[in-house]
Structure 1
Amino acid sequence: MMMLFRMMPMLAAGLLFFNVNLQAQQAGNKNDGPYVLYRGGAMVISRIEPGKDKGAQAVTERYPLKGKDKVPVVVRFSDHPGWDFTVKLQTTLVNEPSEFRQPDKLLALSDIEGEFEALRKLLLANRVMDEHYNWTFGKGHLVICGDLFDRGLDVPATIWLLYKLEQDAKTKGGYLHTILGNHDIMNLSGDVRYVKEKYFSNAKLMGYDYMELYGPDTELGRWLRSKNLVEKIGDNLCLHAGVAPEINKLNMSLKQINESCRPYYDKAKKPDLFADKTIWKFFDGTKSSLFWYRGYFHEPKATEQEVDETLSLYKVKRIIVGHTITDTNVGFYYNGKVLGIDVNQHKGHHEGALYNQGKWYKVGVTGAAGKL
């Protein structure tokens, strides 16, 4: 009897260990998508849902193109049903402007990379939206400095949330800026080295190649292609990686850069298709690419004079970038002229930079703000 009593804690621990393992196996969102594709004059919505025996099943629906904004696109989470939300498709998609006035409030985030829960927590904690995904940031601006894709497990949901909030923000006088990063360009152009295996398997189950899901004949593909590589928002130049000295020398306006680069978002792996080699500079790796450059943080580092040249060229006070994780992010560099905001979202470092009434703060998922 005494032996059995002594074994009970061990048995309990064993049961707890088994339950934790079981929960781990069952954890994660089993839904994927939805993906909206345009085929044969119709709109096709495909998605992955939990199937029988813990498997997955593909579901496909077809709708006429007319009145597509009346068709609800539902994003579901099998592990968090309370997180589900519905998206209204935009009737038309237009390319984003390159310049905006200075807002009183601005929240800058980057490198979400499919970490939907992190994005959700950040937006709730900083009162950008409420629990029902309604925009609550008023006339404030939310800026995503690139990298929606890869590494995380809820990439489509992350993109759809931004797609939804973009519309809501405008109705409240605010704005959502989605600026593309290297992982976004990689996925559009066929560089899928960081894509999670589940997305390839799910695409096959739905009857597609993965690259078809974000092609130019899909809603998310069209939406992403309407976004910019760099924007001026008041006193801030916002982009993913940085402006190399070689780019300064081109003396191009932001509008020229965005309009010239947009046709090549899905051709970044094919330099031979760039008839104008000047445009190739914007895609040419860490040497000069707006979405690959690391010269603010890694050697050979840009000089402060070169940073000043960028500020002078685009008439801004600071440059806001993601892409490169450092121990001192979220933080200022070059005497306050560069603001680095990339943190490792995958390891639980969920932070961003908030501008409010002339002051900058480092913010996280608790709502607390520390002055930068």
Structure 2
Amino acid sequence: MEEDSSSSSSSSSNLCKQVPLDVSSFVDAFVDFSATGLFFPQNSNPKTSSPPTSPPQTRHPSPPRLLAIGDLHGDLDKTLQALSLSGIIDARSLRWTGGDAVAVQLGDVLDRGSDELKLLYLLHRLKLEAERSGGALLTLLGNHEVMNVDRNFRYVTPSALREFQIWADWFQLGNSMKSLCQGIETPEDIFRGIPRKFPGIREEFHAGFRARIAALRPNGPITKRFLSGNPAVLVVGDSIFVHGGLLPEHVDYGLDKINEEVWDWINGMGGRLLPAFLTGPNAVVWARRFSQEQEKKCDCSTLEHVLATIPGARRMIMGHTIQMAGINGVCSNQAIRVDVGMSRGCGDGLPEVLEIVGNSDGLRVLTSNPVYKRDRFNAKSKEAGEKVGLGMLVSDHGLKQLEVNA
């Protein structure tokens, strides 16, 4: 009898210890769904489902299939079209279907649109699902992520401020719920140190500004969860990925060192000042040295030097600068530019995705633009959009998506 009582007491004790964790997880799921309409997969790898605890990995091996997706700028519909076009999500369930493919999104998820938080949550869930399938979704920091963490909101839209205000209301409610449960550490006030009023800003936007600062400041809850694992530069197989451009001084400084210092800053450990390589026209997230659409304006000699100093690198893939003629390559396809301005708030272009199979020179553009079925596939001159050497594939599925979402 004593043994049964002891066993029952032990079981009850373990259950009580588990209750705070279960309550906390339930509240987090409740807040996630209430703010964005998304749930996250169960039994995810704790290393990927929790905020990262170390700087992101700079180098990754070459995958069987590699995809590059340009700037998204808060447009959920266009993002879903691009992801569906690439074949890595199911358009109905919004689940990862890419298997062991690796997709790289080159930053600028924030600003100019109204679906920023929905995009951050969706990309995060796809990362978890990709990891479980043996693939990966890797996201870079763009200049707009850097600006927002640095409290520069000049490109934010009123609807995006409202989205953050709604998130903050649910997040605070979740914290209040957690504070009622004994055993859960009392959550910090996310608005600590943030003023209620902002001179020069219309009063109707003050709550949204407070919420955005609270969410996105260094080590803020959204920054920590969705942005802190984003490197500024990434090497996958023989391809370098960077939002703006990688210059000789960046390589000399060290790619790992850049990512480590970005990690320190975005997690609130590097002080308020931005690292030097994130500011100015030659910053890794701002440079346009290799992004001019005309090849004669691209600094091919500097690009060759940069690639030569990174073992195994054959090409640099960049976002940041809208390419009116679509994804293209110059300097013998050593510079690939993938920002097609797909967001309705920034160009309203048709989605395109770059595809690389293995360490191949056979680069291919997955496009939903029917014009390219006639002209682009057989481009012969450099005036025809600088597309020489890039194969094209027009996706019928992509065209159907456009018709559905028109």
Deviates more, 1:344-353 or 1:195-204: 195-204
Counterpart of 1:296 in structure 2 is 290
Measured in 2, the distance between the counterparts of 1:333 and 1:68 equals: 51
Counterpart of 1:209 in structure 2 is 211
- Cα distance change on mapping 1:261 and 1:160 into 2, 3 Å: same
**Residue of structure 2 equivalent to 1:85:** 38
Residue 232 (1) aligns with residue 235 (2): yes
Alignment of 1:171-320 (within 5 A): 171-201=132-162, 203=164, 206=169, 208-215=210-217, 216-248=219-251, 251-265=252-266, 273=273, 279-280=275-276, 282-286=277-281, 288-298=282-292, 303-315=299-311, 316-320=313-317
SS at match of 2:265: helix
Please give the per-residue CA displacement for 1:122-163, whole angstroms capped at 9, x wherever unaligned: 212322011212211111001001100011111111111110
1:143 counterpart = 2:104 = yes
Tell me how large the CA RMSD over aligned residues is.
Answer: 3.0
Aligned to 2:328: 331
1:87-130 CA deviation, whole Å, 9 max, x = no partner?
Answer: 25924424321100011111101110111111111212322011
Code of the residue aligned with 1:335 in structure 2: it is S
Give the match for residue 33 of structure 2: 74
1:362 aligns with 2:365: yes
CA distance in 2, matches of 1:151, 1:273: 25
Aligned to 1:26: none
Change (3 A) 1:302 1:266: farther
Secondary structure of 1:285 counterpart: coil
- Aligned 8 A contact 2:74 2:119 in 1: yes
Which residue of the other structure, out of 40, 57, 66, is the alignment partner of 1:106?
66
Specify whether residues 161 and 75 from structure 1 end up closer, same or farther in structure 2 by C-alpha distance, changes over 3 A only: farther
- Contact 1:190-1:266 within 8 A present in 2 as well: no
The structure where strand makes up a greater share of residues is 1
SS at match of 1:354: strand
Question: Structure 1 residues 169, 306: CA separation in 2 closer, same or farther (over 3 Å shift)?
Answer: same
Q: How many Å apart are 1:314 and its aligned residue?
A: 1.6
Q: Secondary structure at the match of 2:88?
A: coil
Unmatched segments (≥5 aa) in structure 2: 1-18, 170-206, 378-390, 393-406
- Shift in Å at residue 349 of structure 1? 2.0
Q: What secondary structure, in the 3-state scheme, does the structure 2 residue paired with 1:112 have?
A: coil
Q: Distance in 2 between matches of 1:312 and 1:161?
A: 37
In structure 1, the residue matched to 2:86 is 126
Q: Is the 8 A contact 1:351 1:364 kept in 2?
A: yes
Structure 1 residues 202, 181: CA separation in 2 closer, same or farther (over 3 Å shift)? closer
CA distance in 2, matches of 1:126, 1:204: 33
Determine helix, strand or coil for the equivalent of 1:209.
helix
Q: 1:342 pairs with 332, 339, 343, which one? A: 339
SS across alignment from 1:314: coil
Letter in 2 for 1:241: G
For 1:121 and 1:204, how far apart are their aligned partners in 2?
Answer: 27
TM-score norm. by structure 1 comes to 0.71
Aligned-partner Cα distance in 2 for 1:260–1:86: 32
Change (3 A) 1:209 1:239: same
Say if 2:323 and 2:338, in contact at 8 Å, map to a contact too: no
Q: 2:121 aligns with which of 148, 151, 160?
A: 160
Output the amino acid matched with 2:309. Answer: L
Contact 1:68/1:91 (8 A) holds in 2:
no
8 Å CA contact 1:180–1:240 kept in 2: the answer is: yes
- Supply the distance in 1 between the matched residues of 2:163 and 2:62 (Cα, whole angstroms): 42
CA distance in 2, matches of 1:170, 1:204: 31
Q: C-alpha distance in 1, partners of 2:131/2:93?
A: 17
SS in 2 for 1:238: strand
Give the total of aligned pairs. 294
CA distance 1:360–1:195, change in 2 (3 Å): same
Taking the aligned partners of 2:242 and 2:323, their CA distance within structure 1 comes to: 17
How far off its partner does 1:68 sit?
Answer: 4.3
Q: Could you tell me how far apart the structure 2 residues matched to 1:366 and 1:324 are?
A: 19
**3-state SS, counterpart of residue 363 of structure 2:** strand
